[in-house]
């Protein structure tokens, strides 16, 4: 039997592609790549569009997302800030705030990241990604009740969002709601059966219920995946 230990905190799960945003600018400039251009050629195409249309927030957001995807975060921040400046109450601004939060989150600037997520959520209340990222920071800052509420909000919006179930389970386990945690872990592994940490965490929760047989099965499944 593995040594009993605390559940593993999930890493930041938001991916740039999860915003779902696409624009004609992106499609046009991706044509550069299809004709043999490099990543830098694509970026230069997008930069050129912002020079041609400096007041178009969509052009700036497309540039920011592309820069962010290649980890050019300083220039991406400038592009996202331009979106907010040009169109502060739009869905485009909500996406910009979300990704500004991701950058700050990755830098460890959690309070500022949380502010960006809150601004994004105010403009786009139905974003499960934003709610989950908020929950992770709230949990890290000791605001467990608020973090659990954020996770539940993400699940209400997107019931099949495995990461929200997995993160909620971690918090339920750590506040002692073990039966609820087991249920949430089981949901997360049903939704994403190839994610080993959820099986491991399920095993730790099952140990605490005294169900050692199922705990061993969960640990074995985690090892098999890894």
pLDDT in tens, 172-193: 999 999 999 999 999 999 999 9
pLDDT in tens, 94-115: 999 999 999 999 899 999 999 9
Question: CA quadruple 164, 170, 174, 180: dihedral positive or negative?
Answer: positive
Cα–Cα distances (Å) from 76 to 70, 105, 121, 151, 185, in that order, read 10, 14, 20, 28, 36
Whole-angstrom Cα Rg for the chain:
20
- Match 């491991």 to its residue by tokens: 200
pLDDT in tens, 17-52: 345 555 666 777 877 777 878 889 889 999 999 999
Position 14 pLDDT exceeds 50: no
Give the chain's mean pLDDT.
88
Mean pLDDT of 159-163: 94
For the chain, domain boundaries: 160-226
pLDDT of residue 46: 92
Q: Identify whether the C-beta of residue 113 lies closer than 8 Å to the C-beta of residue 101.
A: yes
Helical packing angle, 24-34 and 39-52, nearest 10°:
140
pLDDT of residue 19: 52
Strand, coil or helix: 26: helix
Tell me which architecture the domain covering 160-226 has in CATH: Alpha Horseshoe (1.25)
Mean pLDDT of 3-14: 45
Q: Identify whether the C-beta of residue 87 lies closer than 8 Å to the C-beta of residue 60.
A: no
């Amino acid at each position: 039997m593995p040594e009993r230990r605390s559940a593993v905190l999930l890493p930041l799960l938001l991916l740039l592609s999860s915003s779902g945003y696409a624009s004609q600018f992106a499609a046009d400039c991706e044509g550069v790549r299809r004709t043999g251009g490099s990543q830098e050629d694509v970026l230069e195409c997008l930069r050129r569009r912002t020079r041609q249309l400096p007041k178009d927030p969509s052009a700036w957001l497309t540039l920011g997302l592309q820069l962010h995807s290649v980890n050019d975060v300083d220039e991406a921040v400038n592009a996202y800030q331009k979106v907010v400046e040009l169109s502060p109450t739009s869905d485009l601004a909500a996406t910009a705030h979300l990704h500004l939060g991701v950058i700050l989150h990755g830098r460890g600037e959690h309070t500022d990241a949380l502010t960006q997520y809150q601004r994004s959520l105010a403009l786009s209340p139905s974003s499960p990604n934003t709610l989950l990222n908020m929950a992770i920071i709230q949990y890290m800052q000791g605001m467990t009740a608020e973090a659990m509420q954020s996770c539940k909000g993400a699940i209400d919006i997107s019931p099949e969002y495995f990461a929200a179930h997995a993160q909620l389970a971690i918090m339920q386990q750590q506040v002692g709601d073990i039966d609820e945690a087991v249920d949430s872990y089981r949901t997360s592994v049903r939704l994403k059966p190839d994610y080993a940490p959820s099986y491991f965490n399920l095993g730790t929760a099952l140990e605490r219920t005294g169900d050692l047989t199922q705990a061993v099965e969960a640990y074995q499944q985690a090892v098999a995946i890894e």
